[in-house]
Amino acid sequence: EAGVAQSPRYKIIEKRQSVAFWCNPISGHATLYWYQQILGQGPKLLIQFQNNGVVDDSQLPKDRFSAERLKGVDSTLKIQPAKLEDSAVYLCASSFISGGKGNEQFFGPGTRLTVL
């Protein structure tokens, strides 16, 4: 079974530029998550989708971050404009369902963003 795919793996941009990340979850997984992991910290949830609807985006900085999952499968996360403090690894995860025994999340390899 293929895992969670993410691209690009690495991205270096200058502050105030825009950047987009892509995620393709495990086939059949209805729930998709985007996390931000700053160096030396645990992942922090940015947004959670159930199919193509947003379940939780309370920690997403909506003035600069946006995410979509239009067809309920793959997803994109965008930052516009980027700030220095956005330097982090952006992890995508998916689970079969949200809640219950299908809640176990499987993580992709991440995208390491460096903002100069």
Partner 1 sequence: ELKVEQNPLFLSMQEGKNYTIYCNYSTTSDRLYWYRQDPGKSLESLFVLLSNGAVKQEGRLMASLDTKARLSTLHITAAVHDLSATYFCAVNSGSARQLTFGSGTQLTVLP
Query: For residue 71, what are the β-bridge partners?
Result: none
Query: For residue 50, what are the β-bridge partners?
Result: 31, 53
String of contacts with partner 1 for each residue 21-40, x by CB under 8 A? ------------x------x
Tokens standing for 71?
A: 């067809």
Contact status: 91 vs partner 1 (CB under 8 A) = yes
Contact status: 42 vs partner 1 (CB under 8 A) = yes
Q: Which CB sits closer to partner 1, 10 or 16?
A: 10
**Cα separation values, 14 from 2, 17, 23, 35, 37, Å:** 33, 6, 23, 21, 19
**3-state class of 13 per DSSP?**
strand
- Of the ranges 19-27, 63-71, 75-83, 104-112, which one interacts with partner 1 (CB under 8 A)? 104-112
Residues in contact with partner 1 by CB under 8 A are: 33, 40-45, 48, 50, 55-56, 91, 98-99, 103-110, 112
